[in-house]
Structure 1
Amino acid sequence: MLKNEELRTFLLNKAEQLTEEWYETLDKSGTGVYASKDPNVIKNLKAQNFEFHQHLSNVFTLDQKEFLDSFKDWIYKIGSDPQHLETPTHDIMREFLRVRDQYLAFIEEYIQSLQAKPSRVEIDKWKKEIIDAIDYVLMGVVEEKSNSLSDRIEKQKDMINELSSPLIQLSDGRALLPLVGDINSDRAAAILDNTLQGCTEKSIDHLFIDLSGVYLVDTMVAQQIFHLLKGLDLIGVTSTLSGIRPEIAQMATQLGIDFGKVSITNTLATAFSLDPIYNK
């Protein structure tokens, strides 16, 4: 990287001005962090922008690795910031490009303040350092934001899968697993894991699995249900299946799935009536 302590100092002294001018010219009509009217959000946004300028000015004094390393925490903070996660990515990119234009203008101002004018080659190198540095940070923020959103989606999917396969604890070591809606392979895998773990943690002896609300399954899902029953058997849990629809029964037959020792009833009410604990 180019070493120029004087240019770094010049830009660092302009940091506050850069932040205020940037915010004043900000398009606040959209959505996300830039449109917020919350004083605390605005204060934090300006602080983040000011911190960016403090880091960026070091492009003219640090070697490349030190400079890039110094930006990692800031990139992570912005990319995972809840306010920025709610901001359209194209708006974030637009603001980085506006900041880039600010810097190019200040470099021209710095050049005009010099008595001995640098060569055009040297000026172009300074500008390239700024452009490359901002592009690096921009791509880092966009990538980190994408990763954070992906993590959020995965956590939401896990929560949905967990909520959509509730293990309802009954009395005397009994529990009910009512399944509703379409079951895809991801949800089936979550049901398998959550149910086995839940039965172990809650010391369940007998699990009633009601499928009356399940209308569509594929081959893999049918096999996952079979694996669930086998898994329950291995941990000592007795299973009772109820409400199997004709489509599911037909698929199980085609696949040659043998439910073996599993008790099967047409309705959940029948399943409860046949259990000695509830049939007293």
Structure 2
Amino acid sequence: MNPEYQDILLAHSNDIIHRWMNELEDSKLKEYKSTISDEMIEQVNREFVNMIFDKLKNDSSRESIEQFSERIVNLGWPLGYLTGGMQSFRSICIRTLIEKIDRHDPETFLQVMDDVNQWVDPIKNELIDAYSSNWSNIISLQKVALQELSAPLIPVMDGVTIMPLVGTIDTDRAKLIMENLLDGVIKNRADVVLIDITGVPVVDTMVAHHIIQAAEAVRLIGATCILVGIRPEIAQTIVNLGIDLDKFPTKSTLKRGFEKALEMTDRQVIKTNDHDDKVVDDIIQSIDKE
């Protein structure tokens, strides 16, 4: 940047900051004021403008830009806060320079615009790149977390595990269910796996096919699947579709499926007194809480 223009901007930095922060308060962050304090907004805005001026004075490292972008992503603020803020800052700097310099010919005006653009645009581009990178990292981590939660395998006792399924089952999720089932059966040395579809809203031909495939794969490595959570409407759908579920046991509830699993692993619940009548119920409730 032209040393003259740089000196003017630094000399009037307080005025530029004041005008810029007022514009920011009136624009992009209105929707956040109900959940974020004015002090927090002012603090972040101050960090924003200080970072820009640091870049002008000593060409601060990209690390500071990445840290600030990460902070914006973690706050959940939109990319528009950065792009709009930089655009507003650019306009204020241009107006300030035009007001303070003595020359007002078209050539000077164009030179001012070029110099400000050469200063602001690289910062804006670096901010957008850093924001996008941080956002992508968060999305990737969330996707991994959701995948882990979408097909959990819960060991409840030696030889017995449960996989509760909730939500729609598509091809990608069916693949994950298959992988988790096979890995979990081997890892936990399970003899019986209960697949609970109580939380699956629709069981159509594709969903039933995926479940049958999973059960067959588990059978091939020496374990047995019990399908539980067969609601009346699902039972009717399965019959109407002509889907064959004869190859593995089915139960209407997780409780009955668990009792069947105990029977298949040569266990039984023994009632010693009236207070122990809820043994199985307590076990099932503890599983549901998982």
Question: Is the counterpart of residue 272 in structure 1 residue 262 in structure 2?
Answer: no
Question: Is the counterpart of residue 37 in structure 1 residue 37 in structure 2?
Answer: yes
Aligned residue for 1:8, secondary structure, equals: helix
Q: Say if 1:103 and 1:159 are closer, same or farther in 2 by CA, change over 3 A.
A: same
Shift of 1:99: 0.6
Shift of 1:174: 1.0
Shift of 1:171: 1.3
The aligned residue for residue 127 of structure 1 is 113
The aligned residue for residue 69 of structure 2 is 79
Counterpart of 2:266, as a letter, is: I
Q: Say if 1:25 and 1:122 are closer, same or farther in 2 by CA, change over 3 A.
A: closer
Question: Is the counterpart of residue 101 in structure 1 residue 91 in structure 2?
Answer: yes
Shift of 1:101: 1.3
Shift of 1:14: 3.9
Partners of 1:144 and 1:33 in 2: CA distance: 25
Partners of 1:133 and 1:81 in 2: CA distance: 23
Q: Say if 1:87 and 1:175 are closer, same or farther in 2 by CA, change over 3 A.
A: same
In structure 1, list runs of 5 or more residues that go unmatched.
59-66
Q: Say if 1:270 and 1:118 are closer, same or farther in 2 by CA, change over 3 A.
A: closer
The aligned residue for residue 202 of structure 2 is 216
Q: Say if 1:234 and 1:120 are closer, same or farther in 2 by CA, change over 3 A.
A: farther
Counterpart of 2:45, as a letter, is: L
CA contact (8 A) 2:23 2:88 kept: no
Partners of 1:180 and 1:250 in 2: CA distance: 23
CA contact (8 A) 1:212 1:242 kept: yes
Range 98-107 or range 263-272, more displaced = 263-272
Number of aligned residue pairs: give it: 259
Shift of 1:76: 3.0
Range 48-57 or range 169-178, more displaced = 48-57
Q: Say if 1:84 and 1:151 are closer, same or farther in 2 by CA, change over 3 A.
A: closer
Partners of 2:34 and 2:51 in 1: CA distance: 17
Counterpart of 1:175, as a letter, is: T
Partners of 1:252 and 1:130 in 2: CA distance: 71
Partners of 1:159 and 1:27 in 2: CA distance: 35
Q: Say if 1:270 and 1:41 are closer, same or farther in 2 by CA, change over 3 A.
A: closer
Partners of 2:120 and 2:90 in 1: CA distance: 7
In structure 2, list runs of 5 or more residues that go unmatched.
270-290
CA shift digits 1:114-157 (9 cap, x unpaired): xxx59743541341242355345445544554554455445445
Shift of 1:170: 1.3
Range 91-100 or range 146-155, more displaced = 146-155
Shift of 1:177: 1.3
Q: TM-score, normalised by structure 1?
A: 0.69
CA contact (8 A) 1:33 1:87 kept: no
Q: Say if 1:248 and 1:12 are closer, same or farther in 2 by CA, change over 3 A.
A: farther
Q: Say if 1:75 and 1:196 are closer, same or farther in 2 by CA, change over 3 A.
A: farther
Q: Say if 1:137 and 1:200 are closer, same or farther in 2 by CA, change over 3 A.
A: farther
Aligned residue for 2:101, secondary structure, equals: helix
Partners of 1:215 and 1:122 in 2: CA distance: 67
Shift of 1:175: 0.8
The aligned residue for residue 238 of structure 1 is 224
Partners of 2:203 and 2:130 in 1: CA distance: 36
Q: Say if 1:36 and 1:279 are closer, same or farther in 2 by CA, change over 3 A.
A: closer
The aligned residue for residue 63 of structure 1 is none
Partners of 1:83 and 1:77 in 2: CA distance: 10
RMSD: 4.0
CA contact (8 A) 1:176 1:207 kept: yes
Percent of paired sites with the same residue: 25
Partners of 1:200 and 1:176 in 2: CA distance: 14
The aligned residue for residue 178 of structure 1 is 164
CA shift digits 1:34-70 (9 cap, x unpaired): 9943545533431232111221467xxxxxxxx7xx6
Q: TM-score, normalised by structure 2?
A: 0.67
Range 77-86 or range 207-216, more displaced = 77-86
Question: Is the counterpart of residue 165 in structure 1 residue 155 in structure 2?
Answer: no
Shift of 1:81: 2.0
The aligned residue for residue 62 of structure 1 is none
Q: Say if 1:33 and 1:52 are closer, same or farther in 2 by CA, change over 3 A.
A: farther
CA shift digits 1:156-211 (9 cap, x unpaired): 45434433433222112211112234323343344334444444444433211123
